Structure 1
Amino acid sequence: NVCLGLEDLQYVFMISSHELFITLLKDEERKLLVDQMRKRSPRVNLCIKPVTSFYDIPASASVNIGQLEHQLILSVDPWRIRQILIELHGMTSERQFWTVSNKWEVPSVYSGVILGIKDNLTRDLVYILMAKGLHCSTVKDFSHAKQLFAACLELVTEFSPKLRQVMLNEMLLLDIHTHEAGTGQAGERPPSDLISRVRGYLEMRLPDIPLRQVIAEECVAFMLNWRESEYLTLQVPAFLLQSNPYVKLGQLLAATCKELPGPKESRRTAKDLWEVVVQICSVSSQHKRGNDGRVSLIKQRESTLGIMYRSELLSFIKKLREPLVLTIILSLFVKLHNVREDIVNDITAEHISIWPSSIPNLQSVDFEAVAITVKELVRYTLSINPNNHSWLIIQADIYFATNQYSAALHYYLQAGAVCSDFFNKAVPPDVYTDQVIKRMIKCCSLLNCHTQVAILCQFLREIDYKTAFKSLQEQNSHDAMDSYYDYIWDVTILEYLTYLHHKRGETDKRQIAFKCIAHDPQKEAVTAWQAQRRKKKFLPSNYAPNF
């Protein structure tokens, strides 16, 4: 009644856009009221009431436009956005309201089509609905994003089949994100109709439809994450493998994972995947003659030789969550890193034996970029699962190779902790291999923890007495020294300790070492029990100071 009693339409617009108005009235009532008000002509009789004071001066059109533009920026209600735009276009036909906010961004592949719409109101509405929908999706406000996209789809269906398909594609991507952020996090498989829509998108062959690369990436990553290997390995159309590099990469990854249990000679796809990644990580070289006549070699960091750029490959990998797929990719890059001729310390990884052992043109590979990629991948995989012992060992090896021994020891211990119920069980021998133990020994040695070195020498399949004795001779040890003697179970090392302290005249320490000698070392069962018990005690005690 208040609105219907007003003669100035600008006041009506101001009141109808107020938050209280929107809260009090239902959608149907708001629509009915605005329609009734728009039918009335905005007649203002300036003679009815003279201007008596400053506060009686009505707001200018520019002020009203500014207020509406502010509401337009804040609103995520499709109906309200439409009403504001109708009001704005009723006030002026000279403005392009899709430019009101520089935060409204639409992908360049779409903007050309949208800005080509002849009707100004429709153009503004489509652009703003899509921009706001994309923004809501980015900030994970999926409910509002769905409303905005649905309104945009309904609008463009009336006049543009091309934009209709664009909106269907964006709604597919939104549904993927919604599932992954919702029930997908708990491991619930996506509904079958969503999987069918993803397949439909990948196989789509509509001409002149603008496509965003990220949708293809997300669709292939979606299929890999939910182990749709049957489709990727057997049912993908041949034209897709040729035209879509992400489908090609997904097919090779799925096939390599599928072939893992088989014999090594049957792993043809592993070799194909290796060649694809090597090509992506290769640099294109050009020869350039300088002013002095000399020919120099110029290397391009991002090669165009592969099916995609290295940065695109890394972006795609960071959309994956499936553990086996991530392990395979990490294994491949670790092997590629180890192929270098000047490498001093190899990095270990699971399934590393399935990859070729050499590269024909070693100089073409950008090993600096490979090393950076390995570090980024390990950081990403550990963000997905910080308790994967294989990935923790890789991280430890990277720190070891770069002389960061404290950090390396930290991750070696963490790898043992996560696969042994915090050392309440024995660490599996395939986790603490001799190579890992030797690297832990070197870390402790370089950190001047010499008593720990002697203890770790017992963990090897064949006890390294030479290293153990040498470490015990060191007197500048930074660890607890005799407090660790209780963790030594090998009688030979304990006897050497007793002799060493006797020689130095250290009676108290000699007595501590003597008490640690097993009562009956001749019985293998007793010795094995002592070894296992003291291993379990030592590792947690070493773990705590490093964390």
Structure 2
Amino acid sequence: MSVLHQRDWFEFILDLGLLERHLVTSDPSPEPSGCSLIVQFLYHANMTEQVYKTDLPDPQAEIKSKRIKILRVLAIKTASILDWNLLKFEKEIPIAVMSDLLHIFLRLTMNDNNEPKYHSQLELDKLENQTLFALQLLHRWCIRSVIFSKFPKKPPTKPVSVNMPGSLNSLQHMKDANENILKVITQNVNESVDFLEKMFNSYSGSVYKPLSDCFVNLNSETGYYDLKWENSSKIESDEIKAYISYDLGMHFFQIDNYEKSFLYFCYIKEFFSNSKNILHSLSELTLYANELESYMLACKSMLNLKLDEKDSSVTTNDNYTKQIINRIIKIDNCLQSNPVEIYTLLKEDCKICQLSLNYRANLETFVKFQNFDPKIIDLVSCSNLIRTVLNECSFYLNYKLDTLESISEVVGDLIDDLSQQSRKNLLLFIDVNFRKFNRKNQVALKNIMVKYKINNLSDIEIKMDIDEQKFVESTPSSPPLSSINVNTFKENSLLAYAKLSIQTSDPMILKNCINKYNLNSKTGLRFFWPKWQSFANELNNVVSNSNYMTNSYKLNNVNDADYFYICYAKIQQLIGLNKFSSALKLYKSYENSYNQSQKVAKFIRNQYLYLLIRNFIYNFDYSNVRDDQLTYMCRLEIKKKSTIPINQDEIIKYCRSFFDNCKHDSDISTELMENVFAFLLTIGEFNVLLAQESNFQNIQKKNIMNLNSPVFSLFKLTRQISRICLDMNKLDKNALRKIARELWDNLIESFTDTNRSEQTQSQGAQARDLQLTYQSREAIRKMFLLIKNRHVRTLIISVLTTIFNVADTQANLEINNELRYLWPSSLANVTSLNLNSLTDLLNSLLIDSLNYLNPFESNWLKTYSDILNTKNLINDSIRGYLQVLCCETKYFFKQAQRKGSGFKKTEEEFDDKIIRSLIKSCLSLNKHTQAALLCQCLSNNNNYGSAFKYLQDGAWCTLTSDEMDMMYPCIWDMALLEYLTNLNYQRGFINKKNVCIQLIGKENINPANPNEIIKKTTEAKKSLLFLKLLNYYFNN
């Protein structure tokens, strides 16, 4: 018996003609297959490249470089022989290898130019035909990979076979690489969608599919090959749009955008109807046609469109989709012939949750519109309500529960077949909304809850119609029902008093409600609403942990206890709504009611101080901040927006008293301490903070408080910031650096991950230390964000920026830093620094500063733009640089004098730094023309070499996308215009050359003009350039 010889991959390098003879044969399944050869070629090319790029000397480096080129070209040629069939590739080639293949192919069609970051910004008409084919193929594959990755997959049942040496199995290799590539393309799938939609809507030309004849004269010894793109096969615009529309249709179908999905599927269906004679040669489109009708049917059902008779016979290879479609078909058939069975189908779907909520909502609307039997409408509504509860655990829905007659019937039919978690969600929904159902359903639902042993059955019949959201929205400083007198109720209704107590935040009305309610109730009013009970438990835990009491509050009577707990609950909710004035009113009466217990009174005073500070910071008026550079001790004012008069000196007095009481307090609230420190730093009371050093030293020595508490780290940072701010203009730079070094070291210590040996520390101790570290960092973050002093905020941003700039090894520029001279230039241990946490804090501070403190602060803008640049967020960084120019310059030239500015920078240094950053960013985005024009704005006039190079790159590169023609009127340098005229003439762009000649002929840019005219022309052109850049980057 003869044994077929299986070819090895290297044989195709030794005999370059073997590839076509091997694949173009009568054998339908050659060994190895074409897809297997692609995997092997790229695998060995990458392995060779890894060895080739090592630092060790390699005498065969040149040979390996040539081998890499040939292997990659062979992989692309193999794909062209297989007719670039994505369906075949997706089944047999791993994602990582496929990504490598398509990106190599794209770079090859671009003549090895740098691949742009955002393909959707390219001008399609300027791209070569083969480049367009490569781009659409890449993005179609990206979308399809994301779609297929979300389909349910059947786990493998057969054991994995072991491959022979030299053979690769795509199912066994590169699992991690496949997952990483899939994660990246999933994150960037919107970019692929944007490109394909742009190509579908705006490109009407043909594309050319490279064939194997395009890759000729391959030589494995020299690594040489020729690219004959003219041998490509032409694909008409309608055909390529058919491929694109199918993939876009699948994408929008998966994200539930059925309108767009249906439009794209309609296009490809129309293409099939007009191109039946060519479908036999389009194998890929033929397979698309087999699935198209299934998607069309699903879209029609989701959109409530009329179904054709032939739709009921549609089949699909995807079992999950098939089940959904079959269920939709059954429902549509029932609508026409037997509407009673609709409930049965919807009830089954509640158990397996296949139909989307959108479809079920549309079905309910259709049933109501068609005037079906009220019983059927009610059953559909009830089943949809239960399905929503099971899917989202939503307890407040847009259903009038008292009008649903069949809710108990639907619950009874479903509850036995539900999973434990779904049953729990359903019972919880019934429990919360019990009083909203009518009496008939209440009886039936109570029996169901008895069956499943709900704990609070004793209270179930007195549940009230309370909606927490209504309470939250009806607690303003002047409550809508505050004018109602409790005595106006004719009957002594407990419910009426309870409702009024929820709606009011007036102390007198609340006390009256409590007194009236408790006269006729066995339990206090605080037990009426479970939310109040949860706040009461929270309060008990806080106070008992603080050693304020031994057993419970010693209150005079039930009414006092109710008022105490309910006031606390209301105050916490008002704080959550930022209604501090109303909360302070309650606290006034809250504080004066309990002078018999010193411990409770102390807790109340601390809470009152917290409210005063929050009210001050919340009503802070940033427009009144004085920008005085000569001193950092600026006393800030606030706008009197609050109904409670805010006395700054009174708050300082409370802070001093609070610090005095801390000497004997073993458990100080970290949140309160954050606010106190932030308030004193905001108003510039640095001496008050420094005076507390002895207090904290005594606390530390006597072990009154846990030494690992975040309070100590907060005080250290606050003390060091205060010292720097006080001595900023008193000491020389060397003395100031010594003080600043302490702040530097403490911040690095706070953001350093400690690695202790497992032998000396148990697992529990490690977890505890880790938790303390996170608590400390979170406390620092909250305090820094609460500080509203511009100079203190600048100091904090400066030190964090320096640490980030020094620690981030990938940073490619020196980040702008207003106080850089204060900080060291190196770090001792960069590896243990948690750079992610520090970067998050820095970003939060910069965003908060620009959004709420001063959006025109140029130093913050420059720092933030530089950080965005280091993270390769180029478009965002350019916007930031342009904002800086808006704030500090006029048309890139005149620096605006800032009020009280003490930082001396020459006009040339400042302009050059920003403009060079802009030039670098523009080049990263292939905006060569913009970069060349910005060279005119540099202070050094000898920039023609760089400008000419950028213009030449922009003219000859097919990837440039910066509205090149629109930028010509912004040129005021005659040399650049003359160079552009010659460059366009060489390229054959006659119209562009004529535009340049017309600009040269204008009198205003004649070098012989007087200096005054030249200056005005230059300023006008710079103004135009500035406006065009603003329009380009802020409107695109």
Q: Per the shorter chain, which TM-score range?
A: 0.7 to 0.9
- Displacement of 1:80 after TM fit? 3.0
- Whether 1:239 and 2:695 are equivalent positions in the alignment is yes
- Whether 1:447 and 2:915 are equivalent positions in the alignment is no
- Displacement of 1:504 after TM fit? 4.2
Among candidates 285, 303, 307, match of residue 755 of structure 2? 285
Partner of 1:116: 552
CA contact (8 A) 1:497 1:513 kept: no
Amino acid at match of 1:480: E
* Whole-Å separation in 2 of the counterparts to 1:528 and 1:302: 63
- Displacement of 1:406 after TM fit? 1.5
- Displacement of 1:422 after TM fit? 7.8
Structure 1, residues 261-318: CA drift from partner, whole Å, max 9, x if none?
Answer: 44321112211111111011000114459xxxxxxxx999957579x61111111111
Q: How many residues in Structure 1 have an aligned counterpart in Structure 2?
A: 487
TM-aligned CA distance change 1:205 to 1:333, over 3 Å: closer
* Whole-Å separation in 1 of the counterparts to 2:721 and 2:968: 50
* Whole-Å separation in 2 of the counterparts to 1:538 and 1:338: 32
Q: After the TM superposition, which residues 65-464 of structure 1 pair with which residues of structure 2 at under 5 Å, given as runs?
A: 65-93=494-522, 97=526, 100-102=529-531, 105=535, 106-107=538-539, 108-110=541-543, 113=548, 116-119=552-555, 121=558, 122-157=560-595, 159-182=596-619, 184=621, 187=624, 188=637, 190-205=647-662, 207-208=664-665, 211-233=668-690, 235-240=691-696, 244-245=711-712, 246-261=714-729, 262-267=731-736, 268-288=738-758, 302=770, 304=772, 309-340=776-807, 342-346=809-813, 347-384=815-852, 385-420=854-889, 425-426=894-895, 429=907, 432-462=910-940, 463-464=942-943
Larger radius of gyration: 2
* Whole-Å separation in 2 of the counterparts to 1:252 and 1:231: 13
* Whole-Å separation in 2 of the counterparts to 1:238 and 1:430: 50
TM-score, structure 2 normalization: 0.43
Among candidates 989, 993, 1001, match of residue 515 of structure 1? 1001
Structure 1, residues 48-94: CA drift from partner, whole Å, max 9, x if none?
Answer: xxxxxxxxxx99xxxx5455433333332223333333344444555
CA contact (8 A) 2:977 2:1000 kept: yes
* Whole-Å separation in 2 of the counterparts to 1:81 and 1:386: 44
Q: Which moved more, 1:311-320 or 1:163-172?
A: 163-172
Q: Which runs of 5+ in 2 are unaligned?
A: 1-478, 625-636, 639-646, 700-710, 760-765, 897-905
- Displacement of 1:420 after TM fit? 3.4
Q: Which moved more, 1:178-187 or 1:314-323?
A: 178-187
- Displacement of 1:209 after TM fit? 7.9
TM-aligned CA distance change 1:509 to 1:241, over 3 Å: farther
Equivalent position SS for 1:253: helix
* Whole-Å separation in 2 of the counterparts to 1:164 and 1:441: 63
- Displacement of 1:378 after TM fit? 1.8
* Whole-Å separation in 1 of the counterparts to 2:886 and 2:858: 9
* Whole-Å separation in 2 of the counterparts to 1:232 and 1:22: 42
CA contact (8 A) 1:501 1:509 kept: no
Among candidates 519, 543, 546, match of residue 1030 of structure 2? 543
* Whole-Å separation in 2 of the counterparts to 1:265 and 1:229: 22
CA contact (8 A) 1:283 1:301 kept: no
* Whole-Å separation in 2 of the counterparts to 1:81 and 1:434: 66
CA contact (8 A) 2:494 2:517 kept: yes
Q: Which moved more, 1:129-138 or 1:208-217?
A: 208-217
CA contact (8 A) 1:280 1:303 kept: no
CA contact (8 A) 1:166 1:211 kept: no
Amino acid at match of 1:109: V
* Whole-Å separation in 2 of the counterparts to 1:338 and 1:361: 14
* Whole-Å separation in 2 of the counterparts to 1:99 and 1:379: 44
- Displacement of 1:545 after TM fit? 2.1
Structure 1, residues 70-128: CA drift from partner, whole Å, max 9, x if none?
Answer: 33333322233333333444445556825733266355423665871245613332122
TM-aligned CA distance change 1:209 to 1:271, over 3 Å: closer
Structure 1, residues 460-503: CA drift from partner, whole Å, max 9, x if none?
Answer: 33343333112211224423334423333344433423433444
Q: Which moved more, 1:406-415 or 1:160-169?
A: 160-169
TM-score, structure 1 normalization: 0.77
Q: Which runs of 5+ in 1 are unaligned?
A: 1-18, 38-57, 290-297
- Displacement of 1:207 after TM fit? 3.1
Structure 1, residues 371-406: CA drift from partner, whole Å, max 9, x if none?
Answer: 222222222222222222222222222222222221
* Whole-Å separation in 1 of the counterparts to 2:680 and 2:572: 23
- Displacement of 1:423 after TM fit? 6.5
Q: Which moved more, 1:392-401 or 1:523-532?
A: 523-532
Amino acid at match of 1:171: Y
* Whole-Å separation in 2 of the counterparts to 1:453 and 1:84: 72
Q: Which moved more, 1:187-196 or 1:204-213?
A: 204-213
CA contact (8 A) 2:674 2:779 kept: no
* Whole-Å separation in 2 of the counterparts to 1:518 and 1:241: 72
Superposition RMSD on alpha carbons, in Å? 3.7
